[in-house]
């Protein structure tokens, strides 16, 4: 690149070669690949998710203290299973909030794009947009097309199941330039709708969980997960070091023939 002529976009000088403009000193790379106009990375103290992580971290310490002090549990009238459940929930919430803060601090955008509907047997693209604030040394991106469906057990109960239809590796340890748009892409083929993506028993159970959510807050999330389980999903997993984030988007597949199949 340093042996070909180029024109500086900053001052208009025609350079015969070189990596910087001989007239104004602007780097050729900056001219040919200008950075995006992004705000500065947010400070750690500007991230609400960090404070949420600290709050749940304190709750985890309280739960650990109650586990190690049976006398305190007895005086408060708390059972061991309840305290252990609270400790596990607090640790999970603290970890989730902390990782969210890390991603918000280092990436301006992590977004998965794909069509809302695809025809069975027809190819479609899934695109992951990544815009880091600063250079990222090593990034891994994997895509997966999954079929989440319902099945009935031997006693008539509903079961949630999942199968992976296809996996693709898009980035394997490649660096990302700061303040620039990077795209990782995968090509999938629209699946044939052959599994059960709705179930009346699952809807009834989700409604029951939702009604009891004011007593047990975790049941609200369980109700939402159960109700929205069925369908085809594209998952994009980004890994930077030991930090990992997975983004899921639903895609509706259909087959139009003598009959219409939708899944």
Model confidence pLDDT, tens digit, residues 111-130:
999 999 999 999 999 999 99
Q: Residue 1: pLDDT band by 50, 70, 90 thresholds?
A: very low
- The pLDDT score that the predictor gives to residue 2 is 46
Domain assignment present for 39 = no
Domain assignment present for 175 = yes
Look at residue 217 and tell me whether its pLDDT is greater than 60: no
Domain assignment present for 235 = yes
The average pLDDT across 214-231 equals 68
- Residues 144, 166: contact at Cβ < 8 Å? yes
Look at residue 214 and tell me whether its pLDDT is greater than 70: no
Residues 81 and 211 in one domain: no
Domain assignment present for 127 = yes
Express each pLDDT in 233-256 by its tens digit. 999 999 999 999 988 888 999 888
Residues 74 and 120 in one domain: no
Look at residue 37 and tell me whether its pLDDT is greater than 70: yes
d(CA 90, CA 84): 10
Domain count, the chain: 3
Domain assignment present for 172 = yes
3-state class (DSSP) for residue 84: helix
Residues 135 and 246 in one domain: yes
Residues 183 and 159 in one domain: yes
Residues 71 and 158 in one domain: no
Domain assignment present for 241 = yes
Q: Residue 220: pLDDT band by 50, 70, 90 thresholds?
A: low
Domain assignment present for 123 = yes
Residues 16 and 122 in one domain: no
Residues 65 and 165 in one domain: no
**Domain at 219, CATH number:** 2.60.40.10
Residues 101 and 217 in one domain: no
Domain assignment present for 253 = yes
Q: Which residue has the higher pLDDT, 211 or 162?
A: 162
Residues 148 and 179 in one domain: yes
- Return mean pLDDT, the chain: 84
3-state class (DSSP) for residue 135: coil
End-to-end CA distance of the chain: 50
Q: Residue 23: pLDDT band by 50, 70, 90 thresholds?
A: confident
d(CA 151, CA 8): 63
Q: Give the DSSP letter string of 200-248.
A: HHHHHHHHHHHHTTTTSTHHHHHHHHHHT--EEEEEEEEEETTEEEEEE
- The pLDDT score that the predictor gives to residue 244 is 92
Residues 102 and 167 in one domain: no
The average pLDDT across 125-150 equals 93
Look at residue 221 and tell me whether its pLDDT is greater than 80: no
Domain boundaries, position 70: 44-106
pLDDT cut 90: percent of the chain above it: 31
Q: Which residue has the higher pLDDT, 203 or 147?
A: 147
Express each pLDDT in 173-201 by its tens digit. 999 988 889 999 999 999 998 888 877 87
Residues 138 and 201 in one domain: yes
Residues 256 and 138 in one domain: yes
């Amino acid at each position: 690149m340093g042996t070909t002529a180029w024109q500086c976009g900053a001052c208009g000088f025609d350079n015969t070669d070189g990596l910087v403009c001989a007239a104004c000193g602007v780097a050729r790379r900056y001219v040919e690949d200008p950075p995006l106009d992004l705000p500065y990375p947010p400070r750690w103290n500007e991230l609400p998710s960090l404070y949420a992580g600290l709050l749940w971290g304190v709750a985890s310490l309280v739960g650990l203290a109650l586990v190690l002090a049976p006398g305190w549990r007895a005086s408060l009238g708390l059972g061991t299973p309840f305290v252990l459940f609270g400790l596990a929930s607090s640790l999970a919430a603290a970890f989730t909030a902390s990782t969210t803060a890390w991603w918000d601090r280092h990436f301006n955008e992590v977004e998965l794009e794909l069509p809302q509907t695809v025809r069975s047997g027809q190819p479609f693209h899934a695109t992951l947009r990544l815009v880091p604030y600063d250079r990222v040394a090593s990034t891994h991106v994997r895509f997966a097309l999954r079929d989440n469906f319902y099945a009935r057990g031997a006693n008539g109960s509903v079961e949630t199941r999942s199968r992976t239809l296809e996996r693709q590796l898009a980035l394997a340890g490649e660096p990302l330039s700061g303040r620039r748009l990077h795209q990782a892409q995968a090509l999938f083929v629209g699946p044939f709708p052959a599994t059960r993506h709705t179930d009346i028993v699952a809807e009834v159970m989700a409604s029951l969980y939702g009604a009891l959510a004011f007593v047990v807050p975790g049941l609200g999330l369980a109700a939402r997960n159960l109700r929205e389980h069925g369908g085809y999903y594209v998952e994009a997993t980004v890994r930077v070091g030991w930090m990992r984030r997975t983004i899921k988007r639903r895609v509706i597949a259909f087959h139009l023939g003598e009959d219409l199949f939708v899944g």
